[in-house]
Structure 1
Amino acid sequence: MQTRADRDSQLGGAKLLGSSAKGSLKQKTDLDDLYRFSVNGRSRVDLALTGLAKKTNANIELYRLARPLRQVVRSIGKIDFRQLRGNQRRGNLQLVGASRQGGNRNELISTELESGDYIVRVTQRQGNSSYQLRLSNTLILPSVPPVAPTDPISPPPPTDPISPPPPTDPISPPPPTDPSVPIPLTIPTSSPVSGAVSDTAQQTTYSFSIATKGDYLFNLAGLTGDANLQILGADQTTIVRTSANVGANPEQFLQSMAPGNYFVRVYQKAAGENSNYQLTITAQTDGVSNQQNPATLIPGLADTTLTRRNYVGNGLASPVDYYEFTTPSSGAQFLTVEMVDLFDNLDIELYEKPADPNAAPDKNIGPSNRPGTSAEIFGGTLGAGKTFILKVLPGKVLPGEEAGTGSTYRLNLRLSPTQSLPSVARDIAFGSSGSSASNLTAVGGFAYFTANDGTGNGLWISDGTLDGTRELGKFSAIGEFAAVNNTLYFTANNGATGLELWRSDGTAAGTKIVVDKLPGITSFNPTKFTVVNNRLYFFGQPGTSAASKGLFYVDATDTSSDPIKAVVDSTNNVAFNPLSFNNLTALGNTLYFTGSEGTGSSGTGNELLRIQNANTSTLISTAKDIWQGADPSNPQHLTPVGNSLFFQARAPLNGPAQTELYRLNADGTTLTAFDLPPEPLNSNPSNLFEINGTLYLTANAGNTGIELWALQNAETAVGSQAATPQIPVRVRDINPAGPSSPSNFVNLNGTLYFIADDGTGKSLWRTKTETTNGQTAITAEKVSTVNSKFNGVTDIKNLTVVGQGTAARLYFVATQNNDTEVWFSDGTAAGTGFFDVNSTGSSTPGQLTNINGRLFFIASTNERGAELWSFSGIPVPS
């Protein structure tokens, strides 16, 4: 049965908010409380959240509903607020205010609201706490008539007892059926002028004069029905501007006005549309520079929200606004930008100030161009000691749309130090839905990944900062990534080509399809990328059948119209069957792989093949027929160690065939077998990993199950056939009762770290050396037995080493007290800790990747959803 706490985390269960409400938030079970209220007429609204307990944190957010609540709930269904996708939020809610003070400090939102329905979200950040939510809603009163009516029941006397005759040329739209003498207005209006239109009084006309040319804000608000607004010239016929929004939405716009006499008409849209209204006309003062040099300085930008207000519009005295700020000289900073209270489409650009202050910017690093009146919100990490320009400009006009005339805005800015913690490189899809960042790959010192900014899935590049994170192109599907000379090669479908081979130099202009190998929507399906110097080898689908397979390559230096070449075709390497090819592996200039030469009894079966000098040649030869004749040895786990190739294969050893470890030396002719005891059982070696000349592997030898083994001096070990055999030695029987199944091998300063199960669950282990009677041997120890920080830490995975020497750290994902975060360790208890990325729950991190000595990963928080995070430096344990 769903609890009340569960229901009020959904829009359909939002509780009606009166003057105050008491509630509570409980970690893990009740993270959000939603309330609803309505505003009838423009009002001053104050929302206060108080009474939070110590060591807790909760915020408040205020949203305006774009349509009636019942329609919103019917559209999105019964789901928690935190599960709303980006398009669901943008289509149904407009963020109009937020308060995020931090800690248990009181939260306050104070703003003016138009008529409409609103949602208040009380959202937990840390700890369990009760709270008090108070709402103060004060109607902004209309102007008081200069003379009070003598009879409160009777309507006020008309200002002119003599009504003029109907105009000879009716004003459109619609023709007035109830003409009246214009009511004089003083501009600017000192307070809202109230009135009403109905079937019996279809319009009201006001007269006013403009003494000085300027920009004026016209605002017809407090509507209870559909009424429109029109500005007329001195002849009361020439139409200067008409505003006819749908329904009870305010008629609000900016207009440049020359000196002269004017009329403003409020009129009923159609019969039966009765509406009250409040009319204000105010002159605007441009308080922000309209030039990049000099821009308006924002001094002291820090971890407290600063607010700036102004207006921007086409044809106005303020066509664009420029702000300038400088980040502190020490430490990276996280910038949050919110531009709200829009009634027309405005956008934001952010770029580093050029060295020549009058020069055009190199790139827009922080574009926010949401359509319509949606709030422009974004954030990301900025480097220390840099000067940036923030530009507010009229929104981009899409095909079929009319150009807007501008809007007033409220700009909220905050610059928070990241300190010694990871930070979001760029908040691509601002809000809790996140961008679903994925496919994180290192290329040329940059992170390439996929993400969805709310307008579709795209390819992105990042150096870990906002100004270094940008989208390179939109794709309906993106597959494998590979780096060739700092160029990214990847498979993608742009919706018109099918899955084909693409490449990118890190710029949008340089992100292009290599060639549409199978023209149209049929997919070439490149896969299994392997790089040999300038060449990228891969498997492709040369025919329309999904079962077709070929080996191809593309040379990064080939500028021809079709640089994708076939390794096997009707004239090249015809003796080989590409359907059998697998396990592409580069060793120096040689490409090794598995496959068969010939067919039937005259064929080799599945053996080890190679292309020598694969950076210039495509000639295939059999590297070694390990099991002589047609029987396949089925090589697997091809692993370069120095100039040699190690792998698993099956062949007769001392009698019957066994699956054991083999080495093919650098000369390509010497094959060495390493037969793990006892014979003649299969050891099935896998997870081959080399550190400083020692080959580590997992194998199942005898009754020990799958355990860790090591072969020292692997390239020169003489093997099991020598007079004095040299074969891998079991490091330790980690789980005497069954397999420990070691996995996720990494090298931290010459020590192998890995995950294994000793029978009590998977834990972190590492190798060490022990000397007995002058003999040094490799063994292994459970890290938690020597490092108390690992007590209670479970579900360890994604081991990744970042840094070198004393700066090297092991990073991994682990869970403690039901909180899954990124952990780090230098091998000591003092150097072990974790990043509390999500202070109210698990950040569920993944895809930990070392890119140019910087840690990148994907993680989620309640505020941001799944985004790209990065960290550089030495982590500080808490």
Structure 2
Amino acid sequence: MAVPTNLVALGDQLVFSLDDGVRGQELWRLQPDTLQVEPVADIRPGPLGSHPSAPVRFGDQLCFAANDGQTGFELWCSDGQAAGTRRVADIHPGPGDSVPSALTVLGRQLLLVADDGQHGFELWVSNGQAAGTRMLADIHPGPAGANPRELTVAGGRAFFVADDGRHGAELWVTDGTAAGTRLVRDIRPGPEASGPSRLLAFGQQLLFTANDGVHGPELWISDGTAAGTRLVRDIRPGAQGARPSHLVVVGGLAYFAADDGHRGTELWRSDGRRAGTWRVADLNPGAGSSMPSFLTAVAGQLLFSAHDGRSAVTLWRSDGTAAGTRPVASGLAAGEAPNRLYADGRRLLYAAMDSEGGYELWRSSGQAAGTFRLADLNPGPFDSYPHGFTRIGQRLFFVADDAQRLTSLWCEQPDGRIIQVALPVQAALSAAVVAPPPPAE
């Protein structure tokens, strides 16, 4: 079945993975102005496919992991043309897999996690050429590997979580050189891990959650030095911790969901200081939780999904004050259970349900008048589950199920029409208009 995945804008074309039933899952491209779909390269000839994954733009190329059937899953790059699609390096020589993952651009370098068959999964660096691809640091000597994860760029450096075999999983940082790759701080002293997670760039600093073994999972901040890595606030005193989640930055402030042990999981904000960290509002009054989720920055405002204990989960907005935190629209006018929120310029796109249908495509300006369902792509009570939103110029592409329950590729045209893109195994479908332009706001 043709299920497009891993949508990425590469210059003026859309590149994605697709199994057309003949080649297996390979790399494909689409020209936005014509909506013509064609294969980029048949990396692994035959029906098995190379299964491209973890794609990231690196300069004017797309770098990803793929398996050509001879050298296993390795690092590849493509300029969107067959002649410009090549394996960068056979990191794990022979048929073994290095399984590149966590591809992250740091300046003019590409960071990745890979296993060369001797050192386990460690941090690697590449300039897109075989000669410029090397292990950056053997953080955990031996075959076990440090298993780096959550690579996040902030202040010209990449922060990540790794286990060197002595300190447990802790916060590390690199400037892209071996000498500049180091443990930031042993937050939970000794071999036990503090388990940093939810890493988020916050200006030149990094916000994250960690457990120092005393305060439980709480919000931390780091400038990349041991002295500059500290607990922001002990929101929930004791070992259980507030468990901050869904972190996002809006207007220079960090917003997140946290549980202080008294008011349930509610919306909080922080400027990185203890005194500047507080609960925005108790949306579900008392010990109940409003469970803010899918926090998304849209044109300087915060939009998110939550419930107040009296009505269904719906779309909310906040300006960082209790008075300015309220539902976008009354009742279910903004849809029920919004998820997969995506900021597209000054509007929010998301999936939600209403009384007339399943999970479909909605949009919101953050105001009631600018919030409505864009299209019922899988008509009736069925779900289309729109996701994978990717913009190229004046066109927006995404993936959703159609009336035949087939997961397909869709395009919102500059005039607002939503068109289903004809994929190879759906050739009978022509690029038909399935939704008219939205009403004027």
Identify whether the pair has TM-score above 0.5, normalized to the shorter chain: yes
Pairing 1:330-369 to 2, within 5 Å after superposition: none
1:499-555 deviations in whole A, cap 9, x for unaligned?
A: 1111111112111111233344322211122221122222212218xx932221211
The 8 Å contact of residues 14 and 392 in structure 2, kept in 1 or not, is answered as no
Going from structure 1 to structure 2, the CA distance change for 1:815 and 1:609 (only over 3 Å counts) comes to same
Match of 2:187 among 589, 604, 626: 626
* Structure 1: runs of 5 or more not aligned: 1-433, 720-724, 771-776
Pairing 1:794-809 to 2, within 5 Å after superposition: 794-803=336-345, 808-809=346-347
Deviation at 1:638, TM superposition (A): 1.6
The 8 Å contact of residues 357 and 379 in structure 2, kept in 1 or not, is answered as no
The 8 Å contact of residues 7 and 390 in structure 2, kept in 1 or not, is answered as no
Residue of structure 1 in register with 2:261 after alignment: 702
Going from structure 1 to structure 2, the CA distance change for 1:533 and 1:735 (only over 3 Å counts) comes to farther
Match of 2:247 among 680, 685, 688: 688
Going from structure 1 to structure 2, the CA distance change for 1:864 and 1:631 (only over 3 Å counts) comes to closer
Tell me if 1:465 matches 2:33: yes
CA distance in 1 between partners of 2:193 and 2:75 (Å): 33
For the residue of structure 2 that corresponds to 1:811, the secondary structure is strand
CA distance in 1 between partners of 2:142 and 2:184 (Å): 15
Match of 2:389 among 842, 845, 849: 849
The 8 Å contact of residues 444 and 485 in structure 1, kept in 2 or not, is answered as no
For the residue of structure 1 that corresponds to 2:39, the secondary structure is strand
Of the two, which has the highest radius of gyration? 1
CA distance in 2 between partners of 1:627 and 1:649 (Å): 9
Match of 1:780 among 315, 321, 325: 325
The 8 Å contact of residues 8 and 390 in structure 2, kept in 1 or not, is answered as no
CA distance in 2 between partners of 1:736 and 1:447 (Å): 48
Match of 1:498 among 72, 77, 100: 72
CA distance in 2 between partners of 1:592 and 1:469 (Å): 38
Deviation at 1:465, TM superposition (A): 3.5
CA distance in 2 between partners of 1:668 and 1:532 (Å): 22
Residue of structure 2 in register with 1:823 after alignment: 362
1:807-827 deviations in whole A, cap 9, x for unaligned?
A: x22111122312442111223
For the residue of structure 2 that corresponds to 1:740, the secondary structure is coil
1:61-118 deviations in whole A, cap 9, x for unaligned?
A: xxxxxxxxxxxxxxxxxxxxxxxxxxxxxxxxxxxxxxxxxxxxxxxxxxxxxxxxxx
The 8 Å contact of residues 13 and 392 in structure 2, kept in 1 or not, is answered as yes
TM-score for both structures, normalised by structure 2: 0.81
Residue of structure 2 in register with 1:481 after alignment: 55
Structure 2 counterpart of 1:708, one-letter code: L
The 8 Å contact of residues 384 and 401 in structure 2, kept in 1 or not, is answered as yes
Tell me if 1:643 matches 2:184: no
Pairing 1:207-218 to 2, within 5 Å after superposition: none
Residue of structure 2 in register with 1:535 after alignment: 109
Tell me if 1:813 matches 2:382: no
For the residue of structure 2 that corresponds to 1:784, the secondary structure is coil
Tell me if 1:789 matches 2:333: yes
Deviation at 1:606, TM superposition (A): 3.1
The 8 Å contact of residues 837 and 861 in structure 1, kept in 2 or not, is answered as no
Tell me if 1:664 matches 2:222: yes
Tell me if 1:567 matches 2:133: no
CA distance in 2 between partners of 1:839 and 1:729 (Å): 39
Going from structure 1 to structure 2, the CA distance change for 1:669 and 1:463 (only over 3 Å counts) comes to farther
CA distance in 1 between partners of 2:31 and 2:373 (Å): 23
CA distance in 2 between partners of 1:834 and 1:678 (Å): 39
1:724-782 deviations in whole A, cap 9, x for unaligned?
A: x3333343333645333222121121111111233344221111355xxxxxx565212
For the residue of structure 2 that corresponds to 1:830, the secondary structure is helix
1:658-692 deviations in whole A, cap 9, x for unaligned?
A: 33211113666423322244423511212211111
Deviation at 1:452, TM superposition (A): 2.8
Going from structure 1 to structure 2, the CA distance change for 1:789 and 1:659 (only over 3 Å counts) comes to closer
The 8 Å contact of residues 662 and 674 in structure 1, kept in 2 or not, is answered as yes
CA distance in 1 between partners of 2:251 and 2:293 (Å): 19
Residue of structure 2 in register with 1:584 after alignment: 151
CA distance in 1 between partners of 2:337 and 2:149 (Å): 33
Going from structure 1 to structure 2, the CA distance change for 1:737 and 1:663 (only over 3 Å counts) comes to closer
Deviation at 1:455, TM superposition (A): 1.9
The 8 Å contact of residues 788 and 829 in structure 1, kept in 2 or not, is answered as no
Going from structure 1 to structure 2, the CA distance change for 1:874 and 1:696 (only over 3 Å counts) comes to farther
CA distance in 2 between partners of 1:865 and 1:637 (Å): 33
The 8 Å contact of residues 285 and 308 in structure 2, kept in 1 or not, is answered as yes
CA distance in 1 between partners of 2:233 and 2:320 (Å): 24
Going from structure 1 to structure 2, the CA distance change for 1:830 and 1:490 (only over 3 Å counts) comes to same
Structure 2 counterpart of 1:525, one-letter code: V
CA distance in 2 between partners of 1:576 and 1:619 (Å): 23
The 8 Å contact of residues 704 and 733 in structure 1, kept in 2 or not, is answered as no
CA distance in 1 between partners of 2:299 and 2:232 (Å): 28
Going from structure 1 to structure 2, the CA distance change for 1:813 and 1:874 (only over 3 Å counts) comes to farther
Pairing 1:6-155 to 2, within 5 Å after superposition: none
Residue of structure 1 in register with 2:91 after alignment: 517
Tell me if 1:877 matches 2:435: no
CA distance in 1 between partners of 2:235 and 2:333 (Å): 38
Tell me if 1:450 matches 2:13: no
Going from structure 1 to structure 2, the CA distance change for 1:438 and 1:621 (only over 3 Å counts) comes to closer
Residue of structure 1 in register with 2:319 after alignment: 768
Pairing 1:301-340 to 2, within 5 Å after superposition: none
CA distance in 2 between partners of 1:496 and 1:844 (Å): 38
Going from structure 1 to structure 2, the CA distance change for 1:697 and 1:836 (only over 3 Å counts) comes to closer
Residue of structure 1 in register with 2:402 after alignment: 861
Deviation at 1:472, TM superposition (A): 0.5
1:415-466 deviations in whole A, cap 9, x for unaligned?
A: xxxxxxxxxxxxxxxxxxx732222234445432112334223211234333
TM-score for both structures, normalised by structure 1: 0.43
The 8 Å contact of residues 387 and 400 in structure 2, kept in 1 or not, is answered as no
The 8 Å contact of residues 831 and 877 in structure 1, kept in 2 or not, is answered as no
1:111-152 deviations in whole A, cap 9, x for unaligned?
A: xxxxxxxxxxxxxxxxxxxxxxxxxxxxxxxxxxxxxxxxxx
For the residue of structure 2 that corresponds to 1:552, the secondary structure is strand
The 8 Å contact of residues 472 and 508 in structure 1, kept in 2 or not, is answered as yes
Going from structure 1 to structure 2, the CA distance change for 1:840 and 1:576 (only over 3 Å counts) comes to closer
Structure 2 counterpart of 1:861, one-letter code: D
CA distance in 2 between partners of 1:769 and 1:592 (Å): 28
For the residue of structure 2 that corresponds to 1:815, the secondary structure is strand
Residue of structure 2 in register with 1:674 after alignment: 232
Pairing 1:224-243 to 2, within 5 Å after superposition: none
CA distance in 2 between partners of 1:824 and 1:562 (Å): 47
Match of 1:610 among 173, 177, 181: 173
CA distance in 2 between partners of 1:767 and 1:629 (Å): 41
For the residue of structure 2 that corresponds to 1:728, the secondary structure is strand
CA distance in 2 between partners of 1:573 and 1:493 (Å): 27
